Every structure is written in structure tokens, then in C-alpha cells.
Amino acid sequence: MHLTKDQVAGLAKKPRCPRCDFDKTMGSALCSSCRSQLPAHMRLDLVKIPSKDASLVARALRAAANYFNVHFQSVRNFGGGKKR
């Protein structure tokens, strides 16, 4: 995934989070709710993205997408933490 500077600027101006239906914080790639679910070392690259390099933002988005897929798939596979 390669993002241009224009795509990063467009991503920063979207009113909604691409992952959920919550309103975004302007200038961020994900809403604060989705960012809070990420580990601390992954959050910083998804904040104030217009001032960052496009390749850095693309890597951060790919890492976040992989984290959500792997982490939440394992939670679903084990019953979502519900007691049976």
C-alpha cells in the first residue's frame, strides 16, 4: 500500500473513522476509540498524519489493520471471552 501526500491529507479530513461509525478526531487516521484499542507503540503514527511522511502513515495503517484482524479473530475463535 502506497499513499500519496494528497491521499494522506484526504484521510485526515474524513469525518468518519474507516473502521467504525464514530466521528474521527480531525487529522488522525482512526477515531480515538479505535486508536485506544491499539498497543501504545502503534498509536503515535496514526495521530497528526498530515505532517507525517506518506510511507510512515501507510505502514502504520497496515500494522493497525493486521493487529485488529489477528487480535480480534483470536478473541472470536475463543468465544469472545464469554463463559460457557
58 part of a folded domain = yes
38 part of a folded domain = yes
**Residue 50 CB coordination number (10 Å):** 15
Question: Is-contact 4 42, C-beta < 8 A?
Answer: no
Q: What's this model's pTM, rounded to 2 decimal places?
A: 0.74
18 part of a folded domain = yes
84 part of a folded domain = no
How far apart are alpha carbons 11 and 52 in whole angstroms? 12
**Rg of the chain over CA atoms, in angstroms?**
14
Instruction: Write the DSSP symbol of residue 21.
Output: S
Q: State which residues form the domain around 33.
A: 5-77
Q: How many domains does the chain have?
A: 1
52 part of a folded domain = yes
List the pLDDT tens digit at each of the 84 positions of the chain.
678 889 888 888 988 888 888 888 888 888 899 899 999 989 999 999 999 999 999 899 889 888 888 876 766 666 655 554
83 part of a folded domain = no
**Residue 44 CB coordination number (10 Å):** 12
